[in-house]
Chain A
Amino acid sequence: MVRTVRRLLVTILACAIPAAGPAALEWPIAGGVPALTFGSRRAGRFLPSMAVGPAGAPVRAVSPGEITFLFDGDKLPSGLPCPLGGIVAMSHPDGMISVYGRMERGSLPFYLRSVAAGDILGRAGTSGYFAGREASFTLFDRVKRQYLNPQVLLPPVRDDRAPAVRGVFLAAGGRTYPLGETRTLRQGTYEVVADILDPLSAPDAAPRAPYSIRLLIDGKEVVRYLYDAARAEDGRLRFFGPARRDSDSYFLDDGRIRLGQFLLARGRTTLVLLVSDYAGNEKETGGVLLVE
């Protein structure tokens, strides 16, 4: 039942966002499995795009549009380094901009202007900062000036594996208390962090982000991260959800996700962490603490 409701929510969202955007998108790499999803940790902060591979595979336009910017190299003519490598940017009639980065040198279509969905734009992943791995794919809503999670709009990837929660931890005063192993805690404010990844069906170690994270304390929802969109506000990239987490403070150095600081009052406290992926698979983890 819960899974059905989740799938329904994802479907509604996938329909709601394209109200200002495309009706349907095609995967930039056919049969593509994202190496990194929107919100994954990369370069110490969350990624407002996705990485799709493998390197060398043809990269296709996800929907019809017009090419607005092409660049083939690692340094722009002005001398600005270009860690995004080879770039193709497209403007779509519905106000979306798609950007394909880290494309192979010499593979870009400098002769093209109008592009149909599925047209080849180049080959993936041999330029820029993460050369030799994947292409970068970004979707941006020009009207709202926000990044969109492409995976909400792309055809679903077969996935019957639930997200993995490798641990939930409470930290205070320089000490960390793993939930489940800890029975009693002293009253006070604790930072809750979680070690979460979405393994998809294919077994690989890429730390993909889930689709949503909810934390309930004593049945009350205190955190709700929804990986649907992000935008820069006042020079800081933030998730565009109720939590509005700052990109720089979202992850700990070891990749665990910060869920926030909470005051635990005396008595029995129940913590429940609900994590779901794009296919609606859900993982529930929790524990009961006696706060003294």
Chain B
Amino acid sequence: MRDVDERPNRLLYAIFVLVFLAYFFVAAVPLRRELSLHSDWAADVSRDSELDGASASGPLYTFYWGGRYGAVSEDGARRWSRGASFDAAVSDSLILPYARESRLLTAVTPSGAPSISIQAEGWPFFRAGRLFLVSPEMDSVSEYSRDGKLLWSYDFPFKIVDFDASATLAVAGTLDGSIECLDAQGRSVLSFSPGGSRLEMILGVALDPRGEAIAAVCGADRQRFVLLVRKGGSFKVQYHRYLESDYREPVTVRFTGDGRFVLFRQSEGIAVYDRESGRESVLPLRVQSFELAADSSRGLEYLFTRTARTGQVVCFEPPTRIIFSYTLPGGDLWTRYLGESLYLGSGAVLGKINISEE
């Protein structure tokens, strides 16, 4: 009688252990990561200053915000800053301050030493480390080498309102609703009008960092999101969706660092399209524009946004899991994610925040 009673208990126990093991190895979700932020240093860069200890080793990180440009070392000890007469284009290796009606651009290196000069009319900018100049009428873009030589110049069919580049491609959106894609030599490889709307224009366009996909928000009545993917030698529409929005102003479109997700502004937040699953979700952030920086080692993205009065840093795990959010005073904001540190410039203060996982 006793043996008969114990058999079902053992059986239940065995089933419980099996279910637990199965759950543990198959269905368990890892614990959420905890990131902690530690302020490393902060410095006032509101006054003109020259570099101290220029001979010291270590890289200098360039910055520009609030009308001031300069560079800072990792420990913040070595830094310099100057006021720009109008604006500045900044890359890792060059800073190009420029006047409103500039005809001669003179670059400086991260150490503040004069570098290349470019004689051209227009405003410079960097994309994917490449130096471009947009013409005063916004109908032409030129690319310059790091030693200031004109590589190519391309007159677009109409005025452009957005531009992005990877190492090998460049893409522009025009006011008459066309996506124009150029190769590294400035030759046209694609001229595509998404159409499908009563009014045609491109409001925002972005290029995947590897140059494999182009995303755009275009048209009005009805507005569309379009994703083109490179197949063979050409680009084909992989996905499109009509949107509820009716923007008549620039719309930010960005790929994440690995190119898997596309983010674009929508009325309910930032839409996040997953190229692998084909699913779309929403980051609940109502912002007009944003920039992205990838923390590829942790699979995280940093989203930087600004309004007239505040700047915000949002760390999230794509598609939409927000890890932390950080609000800064001052609408003009400079942000950069390097290694495991966040460099922030806001108001008169430049600082470094170390991010560690616990």
Binding site for B on A (CB under 8 A): 42-45, 47-49, 66-71, 74-84, 87, 89, 91, 97, 99, 101, 110, 113, 128-131, 136, 138, 140, 142, 145, 231-232, 234-237, 247-248
Contacts and interface: CB of A to CB of B under 8 A. Distances in A.
Contacts of B187: 235
A69 B249 contact: yes
Q: Which 7 A-B pairs have the closest CB atoms?
A: A77-B289, A81-B123, A43-B121, A129-B136, A237-B155, A235-B154, A232-B155
Given A69-B201, A83-B136, A136-B137, A76 B157 contact: no
B199 A78 contact: no
B158 A140 contact: yes
Contacts of B158: 97, 140, 145, 232
Interface string B266-298: 000000000000000000000011010000000
Interface in B19-47: none
A84 B161 CA distance: 10
Contacts of A82: 123, 138
A142 B87 CA distance: 33
B169 to A, nearest CB: 15
Contacts of A75: 87
Most buried by B among A79, A80, A145, A236: A80
Best-surrounded residue of B124, B136, B253, B289 (most CB of chain A within 10 A): B136
A99 B139 CA distance: 12
A82 B87 CA distance: 12
B159 A76 contact: no
B155 A76 contact: no
Contact of A232 (B139, B201, B248): B139
B161 A142 contact: no
B138 A237 contact: no
A78 B163 contact: yes
B137 A49 contact: yes
A277 B89 CA distance: 42
A97 B175 contact: yes
Interface in B106-127: 121-125
A69 B135 CA distance: 19
Contacts of B154: 235
A145 B89 CA distance: 32
Given A43-B136, A78-B204, A130-B101, A68 B153 contact: no
B182 to A, nearest CB: 8
A232 B203 CA distance: 21
Contacts of A76: 161-162, 250
Nearest to A43: B121
B155 A247 contact: yes
Best-buried of B137, B138, B163, B291 by chain A (most CB within 10 Å)? B137
Interface in B140-192: 140, 153-164, 175-176, 182, 186-188
A195 to B, nearest CB: 21
18 contacts: A68-B199, A69-B249, A71-B161, A74-B87, A76-B162, A78-B250, A83-B123, A83-B136, A97-B158, A101-B137, A129-B121, A129-B123, A131-B100, A232-B157, A235-B182, A235-B186, A235-B188, A237-B139
B156 A232 contact: yes
B153 A248 contact: yes
A142 B157 CA distance: 10
B134 interface: yes
Nearest to A77: B289
B252 interface: yes
B333 interface: no
A146 to B, nearest CB: 8
B220 interface: yes
A148 to B, nearest CB: 12
Given A99-B175, A145-B157, A236-B155, A67 B87 contact: no
A235 B187 CA distance: 8
Interface string B213-250: 00000001000000000000000000000000000111
B134 A70 contact: no
Given A69-B175, A130-B101, A145-B176, A79 B125 contact: yes
A289 B293 CA distance: 68
Given A71-B161, A130-B101, A232-B158, 12 more contacts: A68-B175, A74-B87, A76-B162, A78-B163, A78-B250, A78-B289, A80-B160, A110-B249, A234-B188, A235-B156, A237-B140, A247-B155
B138 A83 contact: yes
